[in-house]
Structure 1
Amino acid sequence: MRTTFNRRAFLRTAGISMALPYLESIHGKTEGDHPAPKRMVIIGLKLGILPDVLFPKEEGILNPSTPYLKILEDHLNDMTLFSGLSHANQTGRLSHSSELTWLTAAEHPGLDGFRNSISMDQVAAEQMGYRTRYPSLVLSSEGSASQSYNRNGVMIPAESSPSKLFSQLFLKGSPNEILQQRKQLEADKSILDGLLDQTKAMMKEANSADRTRLESYLDSVRHAEKNLVKAGAWLDRPKPNVRVSSPDDIRDKGRIEERIALMFDLIPLILETDSTRVINMGIQVDHGVIKMKGVHESHHSLSHHGQDPVKIQKLMKVESAILSQVSRLIHQLKRTKLSDRSLLDHTMLLCGSNLGNANNHDYRNLPIMVAGGGYRHGQFVVCSRKDQPLPLSNLFLSMLNNIGLKIPAFGASSGTLDWG
């Protein structure tokens, strides 16, 4: 049985080596067996995309009718563009609070009494991630903030260093590092054992309602203990051997396009080696002053353009650069073969934002693109009817179902979103 690796150990791992692709013989598959597993990649654009430069005027077949679709022209038959999707009640404590809940659908982010819920990527990781070394990877273009939240509503820190990520995934750790990882796992297990004993003792004096809550807590602790056992098993398994050099980090955060490119280059390698099947990467708000020809402002300040045509043109340069890297990533996934199909066919790629219009922090009519995953694509789908948006959770539920999780609901879903 294939298992996963504890995140705490993941953050400490160091170590180099070409990644072996997913091989049917290694995974016990023969011709006629189940197809290769499905993957999920999420790219969150926290400052949105100019809607008028992205969305076509009419619903229907996708064609390069807008500047941003022109950038994605080579992949329009492999993707679906949605409008009219949103989460309800996303006005929060801060103007950008909706980034907390883009993948969870929890309401009123950041206000008194708010508690986030589990993000869509982590639902997938819980159910399918333990067959790989890492249940999921959470990445960032800058800093550790992420849009991934565990079942307790706690944010999972992101990795923003391509060189550290490469080391954690593909470089063999020293014997001492492996020993320290094993000791940490044993310490974690000891803590959980103590929690189990204390909780069982409390059960004897608890009333019926508290006993139910404690049973649920015990189930969570037992689940965590099982995961630690699986994490330990990965310490004895060699990491994938890769003929790729470790990337050099770009320290200047203003070089946003190059930083995104370095991280995106690792995604096909990660998926091909089956190091994880769930990846979530955030394109952050704060990249300082953007270092790009003709642009000398921050991405954030340009997003608040106030309809200034000069600012809009500069913002388009930044957003075009980001979408060019998305296009490049899709190309890499298409050219990588897995079994008899492309890696993109086995990977569902979601690219979108928590903001429909960053200029006024509008969280409605979100820009959402889905590529690959075995769907029938090539359409622009307008989901709102009579100005009533459709829950974005419906799409998330459909995506979770697509990778084999037959769950009845997610977030604020009212059903699934089917198209094609």
Structure 2
Amino acid sequence: MKKKWHISRRKMLKGIGAGIALPYLEAMSLPGTPVYEKASAPVRAAFLFMPNGVHPDKWTPEKFGSDFELSPLLQPLQDVRQELLILGELMNRNSTVEDADGHYARTANILTCMPIQKTIGDNINSGGISVDQIMANHLGHQTLFPSLEYGLDRIKTGVDTNVGYTRLYASSIAWKTPTQPLSKEIDPRLAFDRLFKNYVPGRKVKEDHWKKSILDLVMDDARNLKSNLGRSDQDKLEEYLESIRSVEKRIVNQENKEKFEANITEDIKKELTRVGQRIDEYVEMYGGVDVTEKTHLMLDIMALAMWSDASRVSTFMFGNSVSNRNFSFLDGVSGNHHSISHHMNDQEKMEQYARINYWHVEQYAYLVKKLQSIREGDRTLLDNSMIMFASGLRDGNRHSPYNLPVLLAGKGGGKLKTGQNIQFAKNTPLANLYLTMLKNMDVSLDRFGDSTGTLSEISY
């Protein structure tokens, strides 16, 4: 039976596409920001999420403080050891509420630190706004993209009948409101073109001129349409409306765009050309099993966004919760991530689990090293950043939310004491880390989620 929110593709194109030049939307979705002095470069923040936990015995270094050796799983970070914080005994308390599933209730709220609403429908609720979006709300007026959301997996839909949760909770960690997750971009070409299409030599697109009356008409039509759509389509439409609002801001603030263009240095142009060429080569082999190159491309785009100040806040999901990505492209691995994470203490599976974890840390190290290689005055881009890596589980086999694997790289503009392996008091709220990061970005909050204070051990 056809539901009221079902609409034909023809009607969708007629209702939206006829009133707006879609190619222009991509071209207009270009970064813009005031030029800043390198000596006072802004602080950036990125949150990288890995599903399914870690090998519990190979994560935490044996010694604490500044005199420590990296554990087996953290070896890829050896070259940036002094830029790293290894944060032990943090937990997301509200992921352990009664009847909470081991994955969904520990993924959707990893950046909100609030209990999610259990549901099999589209009445999803993460309990609060995610920390990245609080940062974006504070800084968004300074960049044309308040935040960027990237990942590798498509949004999941349907219901996980084993636990009685909608799979929508598996796909998002960024929440604009408690009931509105932000969709993530998973295609490197689309992510790159959205930001930099006009700034790569040979790719520049001629800009058209918008009439505000046409824009208003599209907005009215889109809002009318939204009331008749299902939840998933409403989220997509809302993202579309946000992109139109961003374009509208640029129409009335050409000066902001011109200032951004002045920030596109020759070094940035060279990197844009290099990444653009790699994307073209990658597209030819798109759909391959090994996702390493795709991951590197997405992380390169994140780094470019930070470097050019296109956006100062971003998230990246290596996989959706309960990810079944097949990691057989790694030597010694012969299965999918989620199944292997339920290792049942089988040594062969635990070794495969560790190899998958190691690959994820390698990708994190790739981004951290890239940021360290970019100079900003007498600092590096990494010095002016806070790059978090975490999973919502400690051990995937037990779905343990205690002593989460959490890393933080970068000095946050000189405010973080890096080069430490710290063991906090047991069950220290993960929200305390977020409150610390918020204060480092000059966001004045007394409390976030279930926080009880900041982490003084890592702050100057």
TM-score, structure 1 as length reference: 0.78
Q: What residue in structure 1 maps to residue 166 of structure 2?
A: none
Distance 1:185 1:78, change over 3 A: farther
Tell me, yes or no, if structure 1 residue 163 matches structure 2 residue 168.
no
1:6-405 superposed matches below 5 A: 13-14=25-26, 27=35, 29=37, 35-61=40-66, 63-91=68-96, 94-97=101-104, 98-110=106-118, 115-116=125-126, 117-144=128-155, 145-172=171-198, 185-187=215-217, 190=220, 229-233=248-252, 237=257, 242-246=272-276, 247=279, 248-249=282-283, 251-252=286-287, 254-285=289-320, 286=323, 288-290=325-327, 291-372=329-410, 373=412, 374=414, 375-385=416-426, 389-405=427-443
When structure 1 is superposed on structure 2, of 319-328 and 390-399 the one drifting more is 319-328
**Conservation of the 8 A alpha-carbon contact between 1:45 and 1:351:** yes
Q: Is the 8 A contact 1:63 1:76 kept in 2?
A: no
Cα shift at 1:330:
1.0
Task: Give the whole-Å Cα distance in 2 for the aligned partners of 1:28 and 1:77.
Answer: 27
The code of the aligned residue for 1:408 comes to: D
Instruction: Using the TM superposition, give the Cα deviation of residue 88 of structure 1 relative to its aligned residue in structure 2, in angstroms.
Output: 1.6
Matches of 2:43 and 2:108 in 1, distance apart?
Answer: 26
| Displacement after TM superposition at 1:331 (Å) | 1.0
Q: Per the alignment, do residues 287 and 274 of structure 1 end up closer, same or farther by CA in structure 2, a change over 3 Å counting?
A: farther
In 2, Cα distance between equivalents of 1:39 and 1:146: 21
CA-to-partner distance for each residue in 1:346-381, whole Å, 9 max, x for gaps?
111111111121112111211111111221111111
Residues 9, 306 of structure 1: alpha-carbon distance in 2 compared, 3 angstrom cutoff = farther
Aligned residues: 373
SS for the counterpart of 2:314 is strand
Deviation at 1:344, TM superposition (A): 0.3
> What 5-or-longer segments of structure 2 have no aligned partner?
1-19, 156-170, 199-203, 225-241
**Distance of 1:128 and 1:167 partners within structure 2:** 23
Partner-residue secondary structure (3-state), 2:177: coil
> Residues 72-118 of structure 1: CA distance to partner in whole angstroms, max 9, x if unpaired?
11111111111111122314554311100000011155359872211
Matches of 1:416 and 1:99, distance apart in 2: 22
2:210 & 2:153 partners in 1: Cα distance?
A: 28
Query: Is the CA contact 1:253–1:259 (under 8 Å) kept in the aligned structure 2?
Result: no
Residue type at the aligned position of 1:150: K
Question: How far did residue 281 of structure 1 move?
Answer: 0.4
Check the 8 A contact 1:13/1:167 in 2, yes or no: no
Secondary structure in 2 matching 1:60: coil
Say if 1:183 and 1:379 are closer, same or farther in 2 by CA, change over 3 A.
farther
Task: For 1:306 and 1:162, locate their aligned partners in 2 and report how far apart those are by CA, in whole Å.
Answer: 36
Q: 1:168 to 1:340 in 2, by over 3 A?
A: same
Query: Do the aligned partners of residues 151 and 281 (structure 1) sit closer, same or farther apart at CA in structure 2, a change above 3 Å counting?
Result: same
Conserved 8 A contact 1:62-1:76: no
SS at structure 2 position matched to 1:61? coil
Question: Do the aligned residues in 2 keep the contact of 1:93 with 1:109 (CA within 8 Å)?
Answer: no
Q: Which amino acid aligns with 1:289?
A: N
Kindly state the Cα deviation for residue 234 of structure 1 after the two structures are TM-superposed.
Answer: 6.5
Q: Distance in 2 between matches of 1:129 and 1:9?
A: 25
The residue type paired with residue 96 of structure 1 is: H
Equivalent AA in structure 1 for residue 249 of structure 2: K
- What SS class does the counterpart of residue 35 from structure 2 fall into? coil
What is the CA-CA distance between 1:190 and the residue it aligns to?
5.0
Q: Which moved more, 1:183-192 or 1:128-137?
A: 183-192
Inter-partner Cα distance in structure 1 for 2:31 and 2:112: 34
Tell me the C-alpha RMSD between the 2 structures.
3.5
